Amino acid sequence: MVAEGRQEITCGGSGRPPKFRVGEREDDCERISELPDHLLLHILSFLCIDDAIPTSLLCRRWRYLWRSIDSLDFPQHCGERKGNSVEFIDRILALHEGLKIKRFCARIHYNSSYVSHLDSWMNFAVARNVEKLVLDLFAVENGFPSYVLPRSVFNCGSLVELDLNLCHLRLPPSFRLASLKKLAIANTVFIGNALRDLVSGSPVLEELILVNCNRARDLDIVVLNQSVKKMKVVEFPDEFEEGTDLKVYAPHLRHFELQSGEPRPCRIGDLSSIVSASLEIRKTNTCLQYDPNLKNNCVQIVSRLLLGLHEVKTLRLSSWCVQNLISCKASLSPKEMRHYLPTQLQNLEHLKIELQLLEDELLGIIFLLRNSPKLERLTIHICRRPHIDMAMENGNPCLYNWTEECLWNCNPSSSYIPSRHLKEIIVENFKGEDNEIKFLEIVLKNSIISKKMVIVIPQKSFYGSGESYLECCRKDGKASIQYMKNIEKLLTLQRSAYADILFAGSYATSISSS
């Protein structure tokens, strides 16, 4: 009985949680309450406001503590009534007694009647030297004008991180964000040189993130700050008008990432300092090889992107990018192939690609390896889509029907893939299927790997040779007969005498690669 001896819940065996006594909860609360205020406030800073306020009921010490927290996080629906977030936020700010705010985050459904409320929130945060400011607005109906950010925000010297969604940036004639290091802006229209001026007015800016900006006009990203080292551009599909372009000019940028579902033409200017880049373009349900004009347009997009990234050392490409590296499917000699390559990746050392095991991808890989003379490491992540049995208007099967044997009619000769510096190939999301074995057979036969191929498997802690992995599978007894046969076939494939095939779990992979 709890009243007599305090109920105990025990767990036997090593590595399990120790005894827990229900009656100790009040004692634990008292011990926590003995901590100094700054530690209690630090604990509260990890909670959203809806969770922080109820702590006032714990005991007298906690009653008004939440009023001094330096982190105010208002989720999309907050307060007792949930649907009246604006009034709730007003009430909380009126009760707040802190002199310093490190983080102010508000996410609300916006309409034009809230302008005065939002202005007061922004001025409240600026007056308390806010360091991170997040204003994430959602339009209830189309047609509402974007919220115009107050001028006071653009001269907030304490601001380190600014994250805005559906806000209009009307820059004052003179401003300076002296401490701003990270700027993220979504669903905003930049007119004229507004973006360039905003970045120039942030002298220590390090990271720039743009999401779905300038949907109906060109997006010109000009970054001359030497401090800006990282940029990410995200563009959602079916959101941009035809005839608009994305232009990037950032000579001091080190890391560039582009995420897009429906890519628009992109022109990259000076990125001479670039070290790593990621092109995650994931256009779905297309059939590019059956529409030559569309295919050529996509090839031009990828070619221009790679042309601007020719100095990169680490490159990540989605399946769509690999498919659209070339516009022809004819068998080419190595000399002919050079004329179709978009650019020479002279400094590329690590190539990361996502594959769906398509014929166009295989040709794209050949072209990439042929064009990367210093490549040392190749990481292949095998992507899987549900089988799409969908006919196109012209009666041709869908491009993503990758189970068709006809996709593997292309079998290049060894002269296509020299890869003299290639030391390691890592294959992620491996399932041991027939298509994967066929693909790895082509790679092993036509590549010179001086070190190893690592196959990433579901078992998280395993790391060892193929023979050891087979023995592990036999003892485990969970692998299918076909899976075991495919692993045995993989181990007997023709390959370089110096290449070992190793198997590693997701946990052991990082250790083995270091």
pLDDT in tens, 78-115: 545 545 688 889 988 998 888 899 999 999 988 888 99
Domain end (from 126, 145, 180): 180
Domain span at 59:
37-180
57 and 174: one domain? Answer: yes
Count of other CB atoms within 10 angstroms of residue 229: 17
Closest CA to 329 of 297, 367, 356: 367
3 and 128: one domain? Answer: no
127 and 28: one domain? Answer: no
What gap in Å lies between CA 102 and CA 113, rounded to an integer?
A: 28
pLDDT over 70, % of the chain: 69
pLDDT tens string 462-475 = 899 999 999 988 98
| pLDDT band for position 294 (cuts 50, 70, 90) | low
74 and 98: one domain? Answer: yes
- Number of structural domains in the chain: 2
Mean pLDDT lowest for which of 152-166, 286-300, 424-438, 458-472? 286-300
29 and 124: one domain? Answer: no
pLDDT score at 56? 57
41 and 29: one domain? Answer: no
Domain end (from 180, 203, 223): 180
82 and 8: one domain? Answer: no
Domain end (from 127, 155, 180): 180
Does residue 497 sit within a domain? no
pLDDT score at 409? 46
**DSSP assignment string, 99-166:** S--SEEEEEEEE-GGGHHHHHHHHHHHHHTT-SEEEEEEEESSTTPPPEEPPGGGGG-TT--EEEEES
Does residue 257 sit within a domain? no
Does residue 486 sit within a domain? no
pLDDT at residue 388 is higher than 50: no
pLDDT at residue 20 is higher than 60: no
93 and 122: one domain? Answer: yes
Closest CA to 219 of 252, 246, 253, 186: 246
pLDDT at residue 406 is higher than 50: no
105 and 77: one domain? Answer: yes
Of the two residues 252 and 404, the one the predictor is more confident about is 252
54 and 142: one domain? Answer: yes
E strand or H helix at 465: strand 463-465
Does residue 395 sit within a domain? no
Q: Which of 276-285, 481-490, 493-502 has the highest mean pLDDT?
A: 481-490
| pLDDT band for position 365 (cuts 50, 70, 90) | confident
Does residue 214 sit within a domain? no
27 and 42: one domain? Answer: no
pLDDT score at 208? 98
Does residue 246 sit within a domain? no
pLDDT at residue 418 is higher than 70: no
Does residue 99 sit within a domain? yes
Distance in Å from the first CA to the final CA of the chain? 55
pLDDT score at 23? 47
What gap in Å lies between CA 470 and CA 490, rounded to an integer?
A: 11
| pLDDT band for position 401 (cuts 50, 70, 90) | very low
Q: Alpha-carbon Rg of the chain, whole angstroms?
A: 28
pLDDT at residue 141 is higher than 70: no
Q: Count Cα atoms within 13 angstroms, Cβ side, for 69.
A: 30
Mean pLDDT, residues 304-319: 91
pLDDT tens string 188-242 = 999 889 999 999 999 999 999 999 998 888 899 999 999 999 999 998 866 566 7
pLDDT score at 144? 65
| pLDDT band for position 403 (cuts 50, 70, 90) | very low
pLDDT tens string 421-453 = 788 999 999 999 988 998 888 888 766 677 889
72 and 148: one domain? Answer: yes
- 288 is written with which tokens? 């590019």
| pLDDT band for position 123 (cuts 50, 70, 90) | very high
pLDDT score at 65? 67
Mean pLDDT lowest for which of 119-128, 155-164, 350-359? 350-359
pLDDT over 90, % of the chain: 37
pLDDT score at 121? 96
| pLDDT band for position 61 (cuts 50, 70, 90) | low
Instruction: From residue 49, give the alpha-carbon distance in Å to each of 45, 79, 106, 162, 165.
Output: 9, 9, 10, 20, 21
Does residue 203 sit within a domain? no
